[in-house]
Structure 1
C-alpha cells in the first residue's frame, strides 16, 4: 500500500527505528520525536510512535492497520468524521480496535452515580 511506504518515509525523516513486527503484521516506527498524534498513530501498515510499543498497544494499532487495508485512503475522512461525532472512546474505530488496549479510560457509571432529584 502506497500510504505505508509514505508513512515509512515520514518515520525515517523523524529518525525512527523501523522494525517489522511479524506477530501483528505491522511496521513499528519507534523513537520518533514528533510527527504523530496522541501517543502514536497508525498510517497504512505503519505505527508511528516515540516509545509506546507494548503488546496491547501493538494489538490495538494492528486493528487500525487492518482498517486502513479495508478502507484505503477513505479511512482518513471516515475516522475524522467519526471522531467529530463521537470523540475518543466513543469512536467506533477505536472501539473496534479495543479501547483498553489503546489506552482509553472507559469508566462506566455505577448505580450510585445516578443524580437523584431533590425533595
Structure 2
C-alpha cells in the first residue's frame, strides 16, 4: 500500500508546524538548485543530494531536509536526523540559535553538534 503523500512531510518535520514550514522552503530551495530529493524512512528526513552549492561543510539540515553533495552515510543521516529533531523542538528560531552557537563555539564545540553526535557527523575534537 503506498504511503500517503503528506506523511513524509509530517515525519520529517516531527509534527511541528514551524519545522514543516522550514522543510517546505528547504525542499523548494533544493529543487531550485537541482538536487535529487528522496525520503529516508529509517531516519525520517528528506535527503537532497547532488547539490554543488547551497550548504555548509559536508551538508546542512534545514527543517527536515538534509542538503548535501554526496555525504550520505548512515551515520551522517543519523546525525542529521537529530538536527531535524532540534528544528522541531526549537522552531523557526533554531537557525539563528545554531548560527549564534557556531559563532561562539565553532564545529565540534557547538552544543547542537555535540547533541547530534560528533562522531556520526564526522567531527574530530
Shift of 1:60: 0.4
Partner of 2:16: none
Higher relative contact order at CA 8 Å, sep ≥6: structure 1 or structure 2? Answer: 2
Determine whether 1:61 maps to 2:80. Answer: yes
Task: Report the aligned-residue RMSD.
Answer: 0.7
Determine whether 1:51 maps to 2:59. Answer: no
Partner of 2:102: 83
Runs of 4+ deviating beyond 4 Å: none
Q: For structure 1, which segment, 56-65 or 68-77, has the greater mean C-alpha deviation from structure 2 after superposition?
A: 68-77
Shift of 1:84: 1.4
Q: How many Å separate the matches in 2 of 1:75 and 1:3? A: 10
Determine whether 1:25 maps to 2:44. Answer: yes
Please report the TM-score for the alignment, with normalisation by the length of structure 2: 0.83
Shift of 1:83: 1.1
Please report the TM-score for the alignment, with normalisation by the length of structure 1: 0.87
Shift of 1:85: 1.3
Q: How many Å separate the matches in 2 of 1:102 and 1:77? A: 20
Summarize deviations over 1:14-61 as a string: whole Å, max 9, x none. 111111100000000000111111110000000000000000000000
Q: How many Å separate the matches in 1 of 2:102 and 2:54? A: 20
Q: How many Å separate the matches in 2 of 1:71 and 1:100? A: 23
Summarize deviations over 1:75-99 as a string: whole Å, max 9, x none. 0121111111111100000000000
Unaligned segments of structure 1, at least 5 residues: 107-119
Q: How many Å separate the matches in 1 of 2:84 and 2:29? A: 16
Q: Which has the larger radius of gyration?
A: 1
- What secondary structure is seen at the aligned counterpart in 1 of 2:23? helix
